[in-house]
């Protein structure tokens, strides 16, 4: 049999790919019958609740569990991070760290048990001022986090007598002296939490020596090893399942220590266990995105093209003390001369984990606000300044794509109609309006993925793949690819995902899943179809290359009388089902997927200068993503990303009490997220020129979640003529900035 040539159908021939297909599991999700980890109820299960440390920094000396054990319904009290009798005291560096767990017959009994635990704490001195570099330095809470410099070769090199750093400093100063415009600013963005609506956790049980875990995870195929390692068994003794996950956003890749504890409790008690974090714990330890603050100086020529960038940023990813990756600065834009430095700050908070487009939203906001301030300083149109600076970006081949996207976005938001110079808009009462831009990039390489495809002699089709549906509509993507390839309706294929017993598929992180499953499912379907075509060609006595699968039939180009139904074709397989396993390895060259997208977002806002309230009038997202598999869910991803950007730009922030260090807004009544009425008019445009479509599938999850914050901040600055330096732009921050600007 000839080698299968993998590829996608040309645009006009696609029946399902690129079309608007409803989720195959939409009915289950919208009628409450989809079962998430939290929803799995196992016979005789115990419910576990944990005690979170109420201090940001302390020493836990010991625990008296005697009263907790007496609570009716409590079955077991289990040590988490607290010291066992005889152990040394334990240092705690994050509010919410789980100290003890209580397993009980009901949620209420478990909670009551937790309330009866007596813990002896020795208070420590917390440090949480992640914005305050000077304070961090004085308390020796800083860590160098890298840096670098690049200067145009025309500037020469330091001489043998020169001190290299002094020469660089002098050269940079020379560049700034030569600049027509110099902008200096300090910008910031606070830490936020993942706030998954389904908290982290598991429902699990042992079957003999085999651990069966329902885990709320983005990593179905590869958390078994984490459990196995911690429990001193082997990964083949752990099965992980996740049919549905209630949000992850980058925070659910591991079993976590409470997952391992659930398995230990189940082992000790001989009963199934359900252990999910409370809301407060989910916000405190379930995952957070690091903060970032930056001092920037940039110099531009008379056209507003930045020639030199010099920045130092800091921030905190918690008690491990790292910060946003320095390599991301300046973001997208890359002038010929730049220096960047970074300092990590060690705070008493849970370390951050990956958050949708790790590092990018912060780097974007911290860079492109400064570029917009350049436009303000020049009394120029921000759109012109962004366009002109496309001559110096880090992926020069994308400049033409960005330019086109900016033009499309400008049309969609009405840039020419609504633009005014910064702070020069018409005031209606206390309300002023403004426009802002952000541009972003992302890789989105497909992850590794394997698919087992079974085609039964009766025409039935089923697939198995250890991937997961994070909310992007993975099942539907798998179904579309299989149905398109086999020429069937979407209901004719049964997609099975969400189990580590299925063939391996990579974790859903970094916009890698749609590419991954498109690769493995397209390959499997093309491989299987090639085998069926051989059988059909022999039977019909036609050349195999003339066969096509469409509309439930195998047809023969040029032989209109020689078609065969799908069912008839499958009957040729024989008694056993045809089984094909096809693989894609991340990074291998493929005509089906690739990487690197561009995108831009624009915001039109209204600012009430009396109250400081910012409202979104309209936001536009223009995004390329290579080949679109499911237009409906792709658009949903972008809408959702815009709304998450609005959340981080205007509403959400982790607030630590400066004295006690405690995370004080860890419930949803005060951890503010936008509601239905808060998002304004959102417009999504998928930018798919032929040059991008031919690249195949490129991941979409992260990129549209990046530049909205910069766009909103820039729009507020355009409206008011005043930079509100730190996101989120809360009413207080807006009013403070306006007051300071007034003097």
Q: Is 524 in the site for another protein (CB under 8 A)?
A: no
Question: Minimum CB separation from another protein for residue 629, in Å?
Answer: 14
- Among positions 303, 496, 571, 636, the unique one binding another protein when judged by CB under 8 A: 636
Residues in 597-616 at the binding interface with another protein, rule: CB under 8 A: none
Residue (53 or 110) nearer to another protein, CB: 110
Burial class (CB in 10 A: 0-12, 13-18, 19+), 720: buried
| Segment contacting another protein by CB under 8 A, of 414-422, 565-573, 668-676, 689-697 | 668-676
Q: Cis omega before residue 728 (within 30°)?
A: yes
Residue (473 or 709) nearer to another protein, CB: 473
Measure the CA–CA gap between 476 and 490, rounded to whole angstroms: 9
Residue (41 or 501) nearer to another protein, CB: 41
Residue (294 or 705) nearer to another protein, CB: 705
Q: Is 247 in the site for another protein (CB under 8 A)?
A: yes
| Segment contacting another protein by CB under 8 A, of 38-46, 86-94, 379-387, 735-743 | 38-46
Query: Cα dihedral sign for 483, 487, 493, 499?
Result: negative
In eight-state DSSP terms, residue 658 is T
Residue (86 or 677) nearer to another protein, CB: 677
- Among positions 4, 6, 19, 29, the unique one binding another protein when judged by CB under 8 A: 29
| Segment contacting another protein by CB under 8 A, of 20-28, 234-242, 321-329, 332-340 | 20-28
Query: Cα dihedral sign for 481, 485, 491, 495?
Result: negative
Q: Which residue has the tokens 């951050």?
A: 352
Q: Is 90 in the site for another protein (CB under 8 A)?
A: no
| Segment contacting another protein by CB under 8 A, of 61-69, 527-535, 595-603, 669-677 | 669-677
| Segment contacting another protein by CB under 8 A, of 380-388, 629-637, 655-663, 686-694 | 629-637
Question: Minimum CB separation from another protein for residue 433, in Å?
Answer: 19
Measure the CA–CA gap between 692 and 7, rounded to whole angstroms: 15
Query: Cα dihedral sign for 449, 450, 455, 460?
Result: negative
**Cβ-contact 440, 332 below 8 angstroms:** yes
Q: Is 19 in the site for another protein (CB under 8 A)?
A: no
Residue 252, C-beta contacts closer than 8 angstroms, at least 6 positions apart? 196, 200, 216, 217, 218, 219, 245, 287
Measure the CA–CA gap between 413 and 416, rounded to whole angstroms: 9
Residue 672, C-beta contacts closer than 8 angstroms, at least 6 positions apart? 651, 652, 665
- Among positions 528, 535, 641, 650, the unique one binding another protein when judged by CB under 8 A: 641
Q: Is 160 in the site for another protein (CB under 8 A)?
A: no
Measure the CA–CA gap between 171 and 338, rounded to whole angstroms: 11
**Cβ-contact 319, 93 below 8 angstroms:** yes
Number of residues that this document lists for the chain: 743
Question: Minimum CB separation from another protein for residue 724, in Å?
Answer: 23
Residues in 463-522 at the binding interface with another protein, rule: CB under 8 A: 470-473
Q: Encode burial over 17-32: b for 16+ CB neighbours within 10 A, e otherwise.
A: bbeebebbbeeeeeee
Residue (248 or 466) nearer to another protein, CB: 248
- Among positions 372, 635, 692, 702, the unique one binding another protein when judged by CB under 8 A: 635
Question: Minimum CB separation from another protein for residue 683, in Å?
Answer: 9
SS3 content of the chain, % helix, strand, coil (to 5): 35, 25, 40
Identify any residues that bridge with 619 across adjacent strands, giving them in sequence order: 603, 682
Question: Minimum CB separation from another protein for residue 693, in Å?
Answer: 22
Measure the CA–CA gap between 345 and 143, rounded to whole angstroms: 6
Q: Is 36 in the site for another protein (CB under 8 A)?
A: yes
Residue (233 or 613) nearer to another protein, CB: 613
Residues of this chain that bind another protein (CB under 8 A): 22-23, 26-27, 29-36, 38-39, 41, 106-108, 112, 195-198, 244-249, 278-279, 470-473, 632-633, 635-637, 639-644, 647, 667-669, 673-679, 682
């Amino acid at each position: 049999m000839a080698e299968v040539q993998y590829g996608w159908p040309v645009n006009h021939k696609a029946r399902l790919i690129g079309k608007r297909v409803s989720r195959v599991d939409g009915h289950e999700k919208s009628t409450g019958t989809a079962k998430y980890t939290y929803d799995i109820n196992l016979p005789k299960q115990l419910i576990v609740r944990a005690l979170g440390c109420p201090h940001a920094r302390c020493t836990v000396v010991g625990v008296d569990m005697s009263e907790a054990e007496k609570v009716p319904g409590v079955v077991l009290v289990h040590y988490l991070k607290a010291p066992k009798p005889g152990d040394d005291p334990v240092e705690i560096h994050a509010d919410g760290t789980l100290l003890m767990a209580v397993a009980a017959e009901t949620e209420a009994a478990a909670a009551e048990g937790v309330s009866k635990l007596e813990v002896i704490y020795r208070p420590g001195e917390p440090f949480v001022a992640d914005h305050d570099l000077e304070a961090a330095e004085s308390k020796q809470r800083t860590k160098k986090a890298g840096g670098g410099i690049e200067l145009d070769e025309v500037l020469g090199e330091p001489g043998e007598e020169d001190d290299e750093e002094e020469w660089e400093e002098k050269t940079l100063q020379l560049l700034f002296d030569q600049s027509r415009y110099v902008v200096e600013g300090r910008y910031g963005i606070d830490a936020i939490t993942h706030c998954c609506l389904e908290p982290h956790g598991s429902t699990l049980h042992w079957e003999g020596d085999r651990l069966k875990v329902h885990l709320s995870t983005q990593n179905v195929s590869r958390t078994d090893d984490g459990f196995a390692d911690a429990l001193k068994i082997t990964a083949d003794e752990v099965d992980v399942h996740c049919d549905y996950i209630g949000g992850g956003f980058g925070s659910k890749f591991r079993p976590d220590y409470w997952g391992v504890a659930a398995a230990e409790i189940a082992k000790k008690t001989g009963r199934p266990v359900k252990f999910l974090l409370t809301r407060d714990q989910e916000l405190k330890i379930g995952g957070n995105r690091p903060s970032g603050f930056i001092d920037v100086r940039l110099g531009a020529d008379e056209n507003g093209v930045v020639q030199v960038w010099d920045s130092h940023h800091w921030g905190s990813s918690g008690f491990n003390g790292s910060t946003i990756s320095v390599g991301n600065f300046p973001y997208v834009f890359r002038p010929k001369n730049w220096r960047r430095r970074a300092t990590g700050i060690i705070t008493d908070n849970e370390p951050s984990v990956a958050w949708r487009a790790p590092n990018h939203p912060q780097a974007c906001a911290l860079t492109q606000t400064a570029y917009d301030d350049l436009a303000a300083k020049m009394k120029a149109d921000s759109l012109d300044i962004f366009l002109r600076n496309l001559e110096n970006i880090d992926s020069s081949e994308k400049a033409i794509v960005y330019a086109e996207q900016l033009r499309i976005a400008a049309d969609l938001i009405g840039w020419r109609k609504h633009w005014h110079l910064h702070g020069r808009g018409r005031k209606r009462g206390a309300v002023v309006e403004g426009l802002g831009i952000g541009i972003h990039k992302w890789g989105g390489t497909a992850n590794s993925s394997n698919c087992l495809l079974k085609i039964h002699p009766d025409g039935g089709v089923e697939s198995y793949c250890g991937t997961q549906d994070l909310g992007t509509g993975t099942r539907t993507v798998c179904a579309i690819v299989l149905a398109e390839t086999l020429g069937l309706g979407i209901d004719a294929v049964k997609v099975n995902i969400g189990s580590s017993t299925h063939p391996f598929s990579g974790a859903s992180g970094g916009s890698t899943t749609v590419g991954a499953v498109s690769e493995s499912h397209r390959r499997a379907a093309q491989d299987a179809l090639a085998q069926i075509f051989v059988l059909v060609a022999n039977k019909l006595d036609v050349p195999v290359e003339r066969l096509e699968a469409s509309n439930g039939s195998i047809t023969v180009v040029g032989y209109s009388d020689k078609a065969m139904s799908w069912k008839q074709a499958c009957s040729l397989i024989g008694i056993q089902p045809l089984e094909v396993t096809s693989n894609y390895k991340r990074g291998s060259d493929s005509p089906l997927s690739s990487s690197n997208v561009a995108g831009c977002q624009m915001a039109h806002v209204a600012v009430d200068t009396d109250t400081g309230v910012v409202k979104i009038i309209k936001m536009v997202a223009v995004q390329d993503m290579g080949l679109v598999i499911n237009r409906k869910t792709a658009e949903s991803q972008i809408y959702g990303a815009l709304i998450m950007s609005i959340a981080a730009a205007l509403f959400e922030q982790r607030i630590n009490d400066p004295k006690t260090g405690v995370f004080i807004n860890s419930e949803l009544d005060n951890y503010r997220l936008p509601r239905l009425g808060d998002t304004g008019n959102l417009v999504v445009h998928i930018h798919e020129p032929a040059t991008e479509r031919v690249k195949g599938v490129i991941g979409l999850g992260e990129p549209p979640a990046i530049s909205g914050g910069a766009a909103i901040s820039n729009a507020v600055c355009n409206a008011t003529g005043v930079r509100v330096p730190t996101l989120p732009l809360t009413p207080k921050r807006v009013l403070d900035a306006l007051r300071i600007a007034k003097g």
